[in-house]
């Protein structure tokens, strides 16, 4: 699997660390309540199809990326810098 | 008066040569990481140009003493003062730096590095933040058949070991 | 038998017999040339088997090569190049290949039908492990591993290209020529020793010349193109995401020092053109597995390419026109064609040999080598003497790689075969026989056309010119299994025959996957390359479905078996992970310190002195250094992160539970870090070097994790924070100097002496160490008056030696991990033994460190009801009631009189030691509601080490609870 | 029709003509007392125990493809009871006991072989963590032995003890751990359930769950609507999609786990062995193939196939641990889809919909749980009460933080367990 890092270009999957769903971008407020935090930490749409998740170019440039890809075909559509993502 | 003795990261390990490929240690005197603060890239670049004659290099590139060093970070070979515009951290002792050269250097690195480093693609002064074996490295093509490789200082021995094995394998072909 | 006398020969051995061969020819050719038909025994029934094919799809002729540690089992005789001194043995036979005791299995085969083992061996219960299974295991398996360390060298490598051409037959060569001429960056890989594919094996003309001459010209042209790389002996084994391919290269020539025997390639290609050809499939007829019965294409290959006659009188049996090509080629070189049996009534062929159309082979004879065949023809039977039978059931396009991403092939009725479904692999196209295109000219044309399309896609301007070549049509009338009695083998390697598949259907294993798993069809080393299509045709017939509805099983990588050593190259011994060495490593080794792994680092366990025979003696002495004089310990392995920027303090407030924005410049504070789920991630000290400048310390184990976490916070959660982080772990060599004499020791190396006023407990700042600018932190992980002094790493070794020498003068010395562990347990300081990922701040008694004044990572989740409260197991000290009785980490804790069962377990021990300071055994552990139970005596039970001890629950700080020693 | 050695001989003499279908292929009825969605190992064992233990025989197992086609048909066949946290400990202990009588219970040889499992450790810290685990196993009534280096060497002489990156300090030996013939487990339970009247319906995909007023009424399938009083979801790998039909969002992320098998070899590895410095575990099948695996590929996926980096990592671990394995050749690698939960432990629970139950989240440890999961899920479905050994597998534990079972200690990141 290869991901095109916005800094480094196409790179092998082995350079990246996978974190999980990109919903992590939308961190609830401290007092959002158990349900909101449960959803944030645990519950997942877990789509069989297009998804967006967070990867860290750990053995590369050190950028956190939002990767849009497909969980069924493993097609990778797009990778963008997480720090520029809309929240 | 007591005096501390300095040792280089690859002391006692280099140089090595196999089949026309040679690895030698590079000993930069000063290495400073430079990470411009929010909105300060231009200011940082300007100050750098003033101080060492070269601004921030392009992503994945080296320009003079300035090497792109990852997301939002550069490594400058030399002393700089960038108060207020960038975080500057002394990295002079943090890296083992070696040069690998010779006609087979590309083949040796192809055994270890998951990035296309062939001359047609990875040109002089191109920089790759990538892996060598299981280690994170920074690779710069410094000449037609020469690459500079930086790895965490404590991994110098593994770097030399991995290069040695790959060089022997290439030479044996 | 050889058709010509070879110019040069080498000698190899087969089961000890010395045999002459042509260097570089496949072992199978050498064996056939020497009239050796019996080569192997089959897996289940130990039936005698001979060479069947001439390629990597070989099912029968598996041998062991070499001996001792270099012995390699399950090598296909058809792909093994013969060299001088090669040592080959047969396998899966005892006492000998010819007289194999387990051939008895064949005699009782009626009782060993598919899946019989699921129905028996159940009684008595204990006999399975004791009797049945050991017997089955010994009988099973093919070759054996030596059990010795693999002595050979292997390597892995990466390659990149615009176009990867897989297979170098007519389509592949044309594709490579077309793409290469257009300027594309091409890799062409072929598993054979020479490129050319079937053009090397057939008698054909291309461009008015012998096909082999055309191949030579094509290769010369490819060699001359700088943008084309030709890789022979290289099998592309798997197709992976985004144009990544795995490939196994076998290196030519003899073993030599440093020379890899195999290389596993990771090839990244913008486009791939699959030109993998096709594999001929057998026909199921009774006893179709005797040595001497081969694939027709293999017979042609041995005759045409290697000049070897596989028999003296060869019969040919087929359902397509290729059978006649075989007969023609044999006749051409003067080998007797005993008969051609064509199952098609309407076969329009003729030749100067006995020809039977509408006929079928219904029996064969010859236990160790074919002697005769019996055919059914015109309602009668006829026996024909033949020592070789060439069979052809038609061709299966090699679709495998196109199915490696869950794709399924498409059935094409007119060629009775599966062909690739387009776009199954992004970026891959197919051409030639693997695409169901069989005539030579069509393969050449398709290779050129497909490559031209690919080149245009890449923005190049290709031109295509296709030479004239053979244009014979491929006509086939499927014949899968000859009707009638007898065992008709389908999967030769796993001994699956037609009745097995019918039995599976009878028992409702009707799905093709069930049939496969029940009968083991296609599960042998060849993975059913030749046999699967026949098997599912038989299944389709048995279940009354069509072949496309029956479907295929899943094609999985690797295409050919790949040695673990190749894919794991470089990892044997120490290569599994990088090694990290501190600057004091050599100095520690010089003191005979045993070095232990701490993550990727090595750290000294203890520093033995003369007369010490047990690590405890050294450890106790080193603890004494710190408690009574001064000890020196390299702590450089702890993670150090430089944090700068206007929001550096805000970042720390967000990642630590406690407040750091209030920390004064020149001071250090202990910090506790949670995961977002409310459990403890790590702890450490952070020093404020300037208003916007901090240096954070992490544990050795969590350094990488914390670095990634901080980047996550800065880039993902809080990009609003303007702070920059970078690891300085490697920049600084850092040493703990601990003990009552710590300051005195440091003053021997510092340019400015220390005093309490400017350097109180938890102070930090710059110092000059023998003229070198360093850093000093007055922090303590031992509870003593202590410092950590850091200098640029180049001076690390020198400073360590200097500190140790001075310490020894003062009655102290270096201390290792064992002593460090005792010192911290005495003080109740935690490590990852305690913060093991399941503990909360509440559990370790630091609940109050979670500041109420601010949000931080993990704060909300830590407030979940389950993460605090009386029933949580809480950190306590445990003191042995009998001071000289050892305690053990990993033991469980129970109420004094409770039975030692799960429901009674109230906690466990995380760390234990003998405290030379307190002269008793101590432990840290977690106990339910532990903080409320100080003073209670409970039971420690370690079943594994058989330790039962009464321990008193107490505060985890055993020594100097007020902390006066560290401050004083 | 009973299976026995006698029967095998008799059929052998008479051309195998008497063997009957191992399970029937009935058409779906209009209504059942209970429907199990998912004909994998867990679903089939649930049906079997519903029939055997609770007398519920008017039930159907609905399978979208062929039975046993999910993870029960593509795992590394390891059976063990070596968990240490309350909740897991009692559950896997119970499951292992069911394994030990499975062949007699099912009259089907699943080749359960208690060849012993050895978890290697490579530091004092790991040793202590394994000691805690081993003691928990014995507290639970299971077996565990702490081996030192020489103890490991006596069992596994072929490991690299001398020149290795992470030396072997010892191992935790679990003699009752072992392997089984994975497919046979599915077939054995299918046969047992079928014999008790359960309808096993293949090629019948559930497309909707009918719920009225908060009560389950049945399911919609590719073969029409089927009514049912109770419905159990047991669809590892697709749990999220099926649960979504009932409006649920699960604490699950799907990941791919790869596994590998070599060509047949004469016996060389007698135990199940696991490496402590990187995921790697191996055993040798009765056919002689070395069966091994490692960690998940780490990115969420439904593709049932993996990529090279993890394959290489697994081979790397094999080579550093047991360099005698180098000349064994991998003939097949495959992937399966794992329900990864935030604490690495499973879920067997009721849902907010009355009559609808769920059994999911087995991460990559589901094979050994096949009998225990079916037994406990059947108990829950039949009685409405949690079965004791599985009583802690609650859906709400993540929200409350009560009774988390994070054996790896890696926290709420799904892929790290």
Query: Does the CB of D402 have a partner CB in chain A at under 8 Å?
Result: no
Instruction: Give me the mean pLDDT over the B151-171 stretch.
Output: 98
CATH of the domain at D244: 3.50.50.60
CB pairs under 8 A between B and C: 140
**Residues B68/B58, Cβ–Cβ less than 8 Å:** yes
Distance (Å, whole) CA C249 – CA C265: 7
Write the pLDDT tens digit of every residue in C279-297: 999 999 999 999 999 999 9
Specify if B128 maps to a domain: yes
> Where is A56: in which H helix or E strand?
strand A50-56
Residue located via tokens 């199990």: D36
Where does a domain end: B90, B105, B121? B90
Specify if D21 maps to a domain: yes
How high is the pLDDT of residue A87? 82
3-state DSSP helix/strand/coil % of chain C, to nearest 5: 25, 30, 45
Is the backbone peptide bond immediately before C744 cis, with ω within 30 degrees of 0? no
Where does a domain end: B41, B68, B90? B90
Average pLDDT, chain B: 97
Specify if D147 maps to a domain: yes
Q: Residue ranges per domain, chain A?
A: 2-84
Q: Which one of C155, C724, C748 has the shortest CB-CB distance to B169?
A: C155
**Residues C917/C879, Cβ–Cβ less than 8 Å:** no
| Short-list C856, C918, C854, C857, CA closest to C883 | C918
Distance (Å, whole) CA C600 – CA D315: 19
> Where is D174: in which H helix or E strand?
strand D170-174
Q: Give the number of other CB atoms < 10 A from CB of residue D368.
A: 25
**Residues C622/C819, Cβ–Cβ less than 8 Å:** yes
| Angle of helix D370-383 versus helix D182-195 axis, rounded to 10 | 30
Query: Does the CB of A37 have a partner CB in chain C at under 8 Å?
Result: yes
Full strand arrangement of the beta sheet holding B86-90: B62-63, B66-68, B74-76, B32-36, B86-90
Which phi and psi angles does D121 have, rounded to 5°?
A: -125, 160
Write the pLDDT tens digit of every residue in B99-110: 999 999 999 999
Specify if B38 maps to a domain: yes
Specify if B86 maps to a domain: yes
With 0-12 / 13-18 / 19 or more C-beta atoms within 10 angstroms meaning exposed / middle / buried, residue C272 is: buried
Q: Which residues pair with D356 in a beta bridge?
A: D231
Name chain A contacts of B130, Cβ cutoff 8 Å.
8, 11, 15, 59-60
Domain shared by D268 and D228, yes or no: no
Distance (Å, whole) CA B107 – CA B20: 12
Ordered domains of chain C (ranges, CATH): 10-105 (3.10.20.440), 154-279+397-457 (3.50.50.60), 282-393 (3.50.50.60), 479-545 (1.10.10), 585-637+731-824 (3.30.1360.120), 640-727 (3.30.70.1400), 869-967 (2.40.30.110)
Where does a domain end: D283, D308, D340? D340
Where does a domain end: D278, D313, D340? D340
Low-confidence ranges of chain D (pLDDT < 70): none
Does B1 score more than 70 pLDDT? no
Range of the domain at B81: 32-90
Where does a domain end: D292, D324, D340? D340
**Residues B148/B98, Cβ–Cβ less than 8 Å:** yes
Q: Which residues pair with C263 in a beta bridge?
A: C155, C249
Write the pLDDT tens digit of every residue in A37-63: 999 999 999 999 999 999 999 999 999
Name chain B contacts of A5, Cβ cutoff 8 Å.
none
Average pLDDT, chain C: 97
Tell me the DSSP string of C661-678. Answer: TTPPTTBEEEEEEE-TTS
pLDDT over 90 percentage in chain B: 98
**Residues D334/D307, Cβ–Cβ less than 8 Å:** no
Instruction: Place C756 in a pLDDT band, splitting at 50, 70 and 90.
Output: confident
Total domains present in chain D:
2
Name the token pair of C746.
Answer: 């440091």
Distance (Å, whole) CA B3 – CA C51: 75
Q: Give the number of other CB atoms < 10 A from CB of residue C434.
A: 29
Q: What is the DSSP secondary structure assignment for residue C544, as one 8-state letter?
A: T
Q: Do the chains contact at D303 and A46, CB–CB below 8 Å? A: no
Q: What is the DSSP secondary structure assignment for residue C782, as one 8-state letter?
A: S
Query: How many helices (DSSP H) and strands (DSSP E) are in chain C?
Result: 23, 50
Distance (Å, whole) CA C390 – CA C296: 4
Distance (Å, whole) CA C476 – CA C468: 24
Does C846 score more than 80 pLDDT? yes
Which phi and psi angles does D277 have, rounded to 5°?
A: -120, 50
How high is the pLDDT of residue C717? 98
CA distances from C140 to C43, C48, D17, D201, D288 (A): 7, 16, 27, 35, 6
Instruction: Give me the mean pLDDT over the C929-956 stretch.
Output: 98
The angle subtended at Cα C614 by Cα C608 and Cα C619, nearest 5°, is: 60
Q: Do the chains contact at B73 and A7, CB–CB below 8 Å? A: no
> Where is D254: in which H helix or E strand?
strand D253-264
How high is the pLDDT of residue D253? 97
How high is the pLDDT of residue D297? 97
Specify if B8 maps to a domain: no
**Residues B80/B52, Cβ–Cβ less than 8 Å:** yes
Instruction: Give me the mean pLDDT over the C481-509 stretch.
Output: 97
Domain shared by B114 and B167, yes or no: yes
**Residues C320/C36, Cβ–Cβ less than 8 Å:** no
Specify if B46 maps to a domain: yes
CA distances from C143 to C135, C289, C490, D236 (A): 16, 20, 22, 37
Name chain C contacts of D144, Cβ cutoff 8 Å.
943-944
**Residues D170/D152, Cβ–Cβ less than 8 Å:** yes
The nearest CA of chain A is from the CA of C718 a distance in Å of 8
Average pLDDT, chain A: 97
Domain shared by B102 and B58, yes or no: no
| Short-list D292, D284, D359, CA closest to D95 | D359
Specify if D97 maps to a domain: no
3-state DSSP helix/strand/coil % of chain B, to nearest 5: 20, 35, 45
pLDDT over 70 percentage in chain C: 100
**3-state SS record for C297-345:** HHHHHHHHCCCECCCCEEEEEECECHHHHHHHHHHHCCCEEEEEEECCC
Name the token pair of C597.
Answer: 């792994």
Residues 6+ apart with CB under 8 A from C894: C900, C904, C905, C906, C938, C939, C941
Does B2 score more than 80 pLDDT? no
CB pairs under 8 A between C and D: 375
Name the token pair of C930.
Answer: 């532990």
Which phi and psi angles does C46 have, rounded to 5°?
A: 55, 40
The angle subtended at Cα D51 by Cα D50 and Cα D56, nearest 5°, is: 80
Give how far the C-alpha of residue B30 lies from the chain's centroid of Cα atoms, to the nearest Å: 13
Write the pLDDT tens digit of every residue in C64-121: 999 999 999 999 999 999 999 999 999 999 999 999 999 999 999 999 999 999 999 9
Q: Which chains touch B (3 or more CB pairs under 8 A)?
A: A, C
CATH of the domain at B154: 3.30.1360.120
Write the pLDDT tens digit of every residue in C231-274: 999 999 999 999 999 999 999 988 899 999 999 999 999 999 99
Instruction: Place C163 in a pLDDT band, splitting at 50, 70 and 90.
Output: very high
Distance (Å, whole) CA C301 – CA C295: 10
Q: Burial letters for C184-206: b for 16+ Cβ neighbours within 10 Å, e otherwise?
A: bbbbbbbbbebbbbbbbbbbbeb
Domain shared by B104 and B24, yes or no: yes
3-state DSSP helix/strand/coil % of chain A, to nearest 5: 20, 40, 40
How long a stretch of residues is chain C? 968
**Residues C265/C187, Cβ–Cβ less than 8 Å:** no
How high is the pLDDT of residue D406? 98
SS3 B41: helix
Instruction: Give me the mean pLDDT over the C329-340 stretch.
Output: 96
**Range list of β-strands (E), D265-366:** 272-274, 281-284, 289-300, 329-340, 347-350, 356-360
Range of the domain at D201: 15-77+183-251+344-416
The nearest CA of chain A is from the CA of C270 a distance in Å of 11
The CATH topology of domain A2-84 is Folate-binding fold (3.30.2270)
Give how far the C-alpha of residue C341 lies from the chain's centroid of Cα atoms, to the nearest Å: 47
How high is the pLDDT of residue B125? 98
Distance (Å, whole) CA C141 – CA C120: 21
Q: Which one of C153, C259, C772 has the shortest CB-CB distance to B4?
A: C772
Domain shared by D245 and D360, yes or no: yes
How high is the pLDDT of residue B36? 98
Where does a domain end: B52, B68, B90? B90
Query: Does the CB of A50 have a partner CB in chain D at under 8 Å?
Result: no
Total domains present in chain B:
2
How high is the pLDDT of residue D295? 96
Name chain D contacts of A35, Cβ cutoff 8 Å.
399
Name the token pair of D130.
Answer: 């394994």
Distance (Å, whole) CA B73 – CA B68: 6
**Residues D125/C605, Cβ–Cβ less than 8 Å:** no
- Tell me which residues of chain D, numbers 63 to 102, contact chain C at a CB-CB cutoff of 8 Å: 65-66, 68-69, 73, 86, 89-90
Name the token pair of C323.
Answer: 């059978």
Is the backbone peptide bond immediately before D381 cis, with ω within 30 degrees of 0? no
Domain shared by D326 and D266, yes or no: yes
How high is the pLDDT of residue C323? 85
Domain shared by D163 and D229, yes or no: no
Domain shared by D267 and D400, yes or no: no
Write the pLDDT tens digit of every residue in C716-737: 999 999 999 999 999 999 999 9
Write the pLDDT tens digit of every residue in C343-395: 999 887 778 899 999 999 999 999 999 999 999 999 999 999 999 999 999 99
- Tell me which residues of chain A, numbers 14 to 33, contact chain D at a CB-CB cutoff of 8 Å: 14, 17-21
């Amino acid at each position: 699997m290869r991901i095109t890092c916005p800094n480094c270009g196409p790179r092998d999957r082995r350079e990246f660390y996978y974190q999980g769903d990109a919903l992590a971008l939308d961190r609830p407020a401290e007092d959002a309540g158990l349900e909101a935090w449960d959803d944030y930490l645990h519950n997942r749409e877990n789509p069989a199809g297009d998804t967006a998740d967070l990867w860290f170019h750990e053995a590369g440039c050190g950028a956190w990326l939002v990767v849009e890809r497909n969980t069924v075909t493993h097609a990778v559509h797009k990778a963008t810098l997480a720090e520029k993502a809309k929240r | 008066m007591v005096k501390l003795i300095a040792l280089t990261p690859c002391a006692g390990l280099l140089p090595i040569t196999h089949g026309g490929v040679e690895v030698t240690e590079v000993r930069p005197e000063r290495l400073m990481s430079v990470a411009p603060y929010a909105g300060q890239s231009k200011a940082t670049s300007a100050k750098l140009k003033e101080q060492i004659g070269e601004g921030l290099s392009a992503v994945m590139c080296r320009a003079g003493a300035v090497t792109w060093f990852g997301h939002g970070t550069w490594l400058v070979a030399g002393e700089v003062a960038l108060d207020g515009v960038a975080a500057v951290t002394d990295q002079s002792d943090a890296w083992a730096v070696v040069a690998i050269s010779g006609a087979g250097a590309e083949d040796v690195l192809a055994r270890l590095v998951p990035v296309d480093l062939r001359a047609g693609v990875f040109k002089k002064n191109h920089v790759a933040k990538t892996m060598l074996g299981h280690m994170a490295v920074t690779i710069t093509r410094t000449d037609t058949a020469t690459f500079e490789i930086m790895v965490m200082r404590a991994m110098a021995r593994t770097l030399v070991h991995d290069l040695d094995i790959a060089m022997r394998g290439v030479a044996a072909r | 038998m050889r058709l010509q006398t070879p110019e040069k020969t080498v000698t190899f051995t087969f089961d000890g017999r010395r045999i002459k061969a042509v260097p570089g020819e496949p072992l199978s050719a050498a064996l056939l040339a020497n009239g050796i038909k019996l080569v192997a025994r089959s897996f289940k029934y130990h039936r005698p088997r001979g060479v069947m094919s001439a390629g990597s799809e070989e099912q029968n002729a598996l041998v062991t090569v070499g001996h001792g540690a270099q012995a390699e089992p399950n090598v296909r005789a058809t792909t093994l190049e013969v060299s001088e001194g090669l040592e080959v043995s047969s396998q899966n036979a005892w006492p000998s290949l010819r007289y194999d005791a387990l051939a008895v299995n064949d005699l009782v085969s009626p009782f060993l039908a598919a899946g019989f083992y699921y129905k028996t061996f159940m009684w008595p219960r204990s006999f399975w492990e004791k009797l049945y299974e050991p017997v089955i295991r010994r009988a099973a398996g093919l070759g054996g591993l030596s059990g010795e360390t693999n002595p050979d060298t292997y390597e892995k490598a990466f390659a990149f290209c615009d176009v990867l051409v897989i297979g170098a037959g007519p389509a592949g060569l044309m594709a490579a020529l077309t793409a290469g001429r257009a300027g594309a960056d091409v890799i062409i890989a072929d598993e054979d020793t020479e490129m050319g594919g079937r053009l090397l094996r057939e008698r054909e003309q291309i461009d008015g010349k012998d096909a082999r001459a055309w191949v030579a010209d094509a290769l010369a042209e490819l060699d001359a193109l700088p943008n084309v790389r030709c890789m022979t002996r290289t099998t592309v084994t798997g197709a992976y995401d985004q144009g990544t391919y795995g490939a196994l290269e076998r290196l030519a020539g003899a073993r030599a020092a440093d020379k890899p025997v195999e290389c596993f390639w990771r090839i990244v290609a913008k486009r791939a053109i699959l030109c993998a050809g096709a594999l001929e499939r057998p026909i199921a007829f009774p006893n179709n597995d005797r040595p001497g019965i081969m694939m027709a294409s293999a017979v042609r290959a041995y005759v045409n390419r290697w000049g070897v006659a596989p028999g003296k009188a060869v019969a040919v049996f087929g359902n397509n026109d290729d059978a006649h090509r075989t007969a023609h080629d044999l006749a051409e070189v003067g080998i007797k064609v005993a008969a051609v049996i064509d199952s098609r009534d309407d076969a329009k062929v003729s030749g100067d040999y006995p020809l039977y159309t509408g006929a079928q082979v219904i029996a064969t004879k010859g236990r160790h080598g074919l002697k005769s065949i019996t055919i059914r023809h015109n309602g009668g039977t006829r026996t024909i003497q033949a020592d070789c039978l060439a069979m052809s059931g038609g061709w299966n396009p090699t679709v495998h790689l196109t199915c490696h991403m869950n794709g399924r092939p498409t059935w094409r009725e007119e060629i009775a075969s599966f062909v690739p479904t387009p776009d199954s692999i992004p970026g891959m196209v197919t051409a030639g026989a693997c695409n169901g295109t069989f005539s030579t000219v069509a393969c050449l044309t398709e290779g050129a056309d497909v490559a031209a399309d690919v080149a245009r896609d890449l923005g190049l301007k290709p031109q295509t010119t296709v030479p004239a070549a053979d244009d014979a049509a491929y006509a086939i009338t499927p014949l899968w299994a000859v009707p009638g009695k007898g065992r008709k083998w389908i999967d030769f390697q796993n001994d699956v025959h037609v009745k097995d598949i019918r039995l599976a259907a009878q028992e409702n294993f009707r799905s093709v996957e069930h049939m496969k798993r029940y009968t083991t069809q296609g599960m042998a080393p060849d993975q059913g390359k030749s046999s699967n299509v026949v098997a599912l045709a038989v299944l389709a017939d048995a279940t009354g479905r069509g072949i496309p509805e029956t479907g295929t099983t899943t094609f999985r990588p690797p295409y050919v078996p790949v040695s673990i050593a190749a894919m794991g190259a470089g990892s044997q011994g120490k290569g599994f992970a990088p090694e990290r060495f501190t600057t004091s490593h050599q100095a520690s080794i010089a003191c005979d310190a045993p070095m232990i792994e701490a993550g990727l680092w090595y750290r000294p366990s203890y520093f033995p002195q003369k007369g010490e025979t047990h690590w405890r003696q050294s450890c106790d002495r080193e603890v004494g250094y710190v408690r009574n004089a001064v000890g020196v310990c390299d702590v450089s392995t702890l993670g150090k992160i430089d944090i700068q920027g206007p929001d550096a303090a805000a970042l720390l407030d967000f990642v630590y539970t406690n407040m750091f924005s209030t920390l004064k410049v020149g001071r250090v504070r202990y910090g506790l870090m949670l995961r977002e789920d409310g459990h403890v991630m790590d702890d450490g000290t952070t020093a404020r070097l300037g208003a916007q400048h901090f240096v954070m310390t992490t544990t050795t184990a969590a350094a990488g994790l914390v670095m990634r976490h901080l980047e996550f916070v800065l880039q993902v959660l809080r990009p609003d924070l303007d702070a920059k982080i970078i690891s300085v772990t490697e920049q600084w060599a850092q040493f703990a100097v601990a003990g009552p004499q710590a300051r005195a020791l440091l003053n021997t190396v510092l340019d400015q002496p220390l005093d309490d006023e400017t350097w109180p407990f938890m102070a930090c700042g710059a110092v000059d160490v023998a003229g070198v600018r360093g850093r000093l932190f007055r922090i303590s992980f031992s509870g003593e008056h202590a410092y950590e002094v850091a200098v640029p790493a180049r001076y690390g070794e020198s400073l360590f030696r200097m500190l140790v020498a001075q310490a020894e003068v003062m009655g102290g010395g270096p201390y290792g991990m064992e002593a460090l562990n005792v010192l911290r347990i005495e003080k109740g300081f935690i490590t990852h033994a305690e913060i093991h990922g399941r503990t909360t701040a509440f559990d370790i008694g630091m609940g109050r460190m979670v500041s109420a004044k601010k949000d931080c990572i993990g704060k909300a989740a830590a407030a979940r009801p389950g993460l605090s409260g009386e029933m949580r197991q809480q950190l306590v000290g445990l003191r042995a009631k009998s001071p000289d009785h050892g305690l053990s980490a990993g033991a469980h804790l129970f109420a004094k009189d409770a039975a030692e069962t799960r429901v009674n377990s109230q906690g466990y021990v995380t760390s234990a030691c003998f405290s030379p300071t307190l002269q008793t055994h101590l432990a840290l552990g977690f106990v339910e509601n532990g903080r409320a139970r100080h003073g209670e005596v409970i039971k420690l039970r370690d079943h594994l080490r058989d330790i039962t001890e009464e321990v008193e629950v107490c505060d985890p700080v055993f020594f100097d609870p007020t902390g006066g020693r560290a401050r004083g | 029709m009973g299976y026995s050695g006698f029967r095998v001989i008799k059929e052998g003499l008479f051309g195998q003509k008497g063997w009957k279908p191992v399970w029937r292929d009935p058409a779906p009825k209009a209504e059942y007392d209970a429907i199990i969605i998912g004909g994998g190992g867990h679903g089939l064992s649930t049906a079997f125990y519903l029939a055997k233990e609770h007398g519920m025989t008017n039930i159907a197992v609905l399978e979208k493809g062929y039975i046993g086609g999910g993870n029960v048909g593509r795992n590394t066949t390891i059976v063990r009871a070596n968990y240490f946290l309350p909740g897991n400990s009692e559950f896997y202990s119970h499951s292992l006991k069911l394994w030990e009588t499975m062949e007699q219970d099912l009259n089907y040889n699943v080749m359960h072989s208690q060849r012993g499992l050895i978890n290697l450790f490579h530091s004092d810290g790991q040793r202590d963590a394994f000691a805690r685990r081993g003691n928990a196993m014995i507290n639970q009534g299971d077996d565990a032995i702490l081996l030192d280096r020489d103890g490991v060497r006596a069992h596994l002489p072929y490991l690299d003890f001398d020149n290795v990156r992470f030396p072997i300090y010892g191992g935790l030996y679990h003699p009752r751990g072992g392997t089984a013939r994975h497919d046979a487990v599915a077939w054995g339970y299918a046969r047992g359930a079928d014999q008790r009247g359960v309808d096993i319906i293949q090629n019948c995909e559930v497309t909707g769950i009918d719920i009225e007023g908060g009560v389950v009424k049945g399911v919609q399938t590719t073969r029409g609507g089927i009514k049912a009083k109770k419905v159990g979801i047991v669809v590892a790998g697709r749990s999220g999609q099926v649960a979504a039909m009932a409006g649920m969002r699960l604490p699950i992320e799907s990941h791919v786990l790869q596994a590998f098998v070599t060509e047949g070899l004469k016996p060389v590895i007698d135990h199940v062995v696991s490496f402590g410095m990187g995921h790697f575990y191996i055993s040798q099948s009765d056919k002689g193939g070395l069966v091994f695996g490692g960690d998940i590929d780490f990115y969420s996926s439904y593709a049932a196939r993996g990529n090279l980096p993890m394959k290489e990592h697994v081979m790397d671990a094999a080579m550093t641990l047991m360099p005698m394995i180098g000349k064994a050749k991998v003939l097949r690698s495959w992937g399966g889809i794992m329900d990864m939960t935030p604490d690495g432990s499973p879920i067997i629970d009721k849902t907010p919909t009355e009559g609808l139950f769920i059994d999911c989240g087995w991460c990559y440890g589901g094979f050994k749980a096949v009998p225990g999961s079916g037994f406990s899920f059947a108990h829950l479905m039949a009685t409405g009460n949690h079965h004791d050994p599985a009583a802690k597998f609650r859906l709400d534990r993540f929200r409350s933080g009560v009774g988390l079972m994070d054996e790896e200690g890696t926290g709420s990141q799904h892929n790290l367990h």
